[in-house]
Structure 1
Amino acid sequence: MEIGPLIKLHRIKQSMTQEDLAAGIVSESYLSKIENQKTRKPMPAQKSSHYYVNDSESSLTRRTRI
């Protein structure tokens, strides 16, 4: 499975909106394009590292900076 649909699947499983997930990382419209595979352009590494898909728990986890 491509990363966009995987992000969407886990976002929905956690009852998160695109606004919730995109906050401070990317715009909602850009997240929508990623989820719907309308862009091939990757998110900036620094920003995309704030969230990661934790497949073992089927969840999106927000990383905190130390």
Structure 2
Amino acid sequence: MRDRKKSLIVIDGLEYLILENGFTPVMKFLSTLRDYALLYGATVILVGDDSFLDEKERHFLRILLS
């Protein structure tokens, strides 16, 4: 990402990441990733089903990624 080319970051399997690592650590990772993407002009695409999250977690995820 540092060479300022248009970068695309795709993360597939959000539910697996959360299952293996927990909700809070994954949100911290996504927050840091979002910051780097903004800094270097990259686009982040997150693929996964959010139906396994409770309403509070789903709301937090949507705020983080908007």
Scaled by the length of structure 2, what TM-score is found?
A: 0.28
Higher relative contact order (CA 8 A, sep 6+): 2
Scaled by the length of structure 1, what TM-score is found?
A: 0.28
Considering only CA atoms, is the larger Rg found in Structure 1 or Structure 2? 2
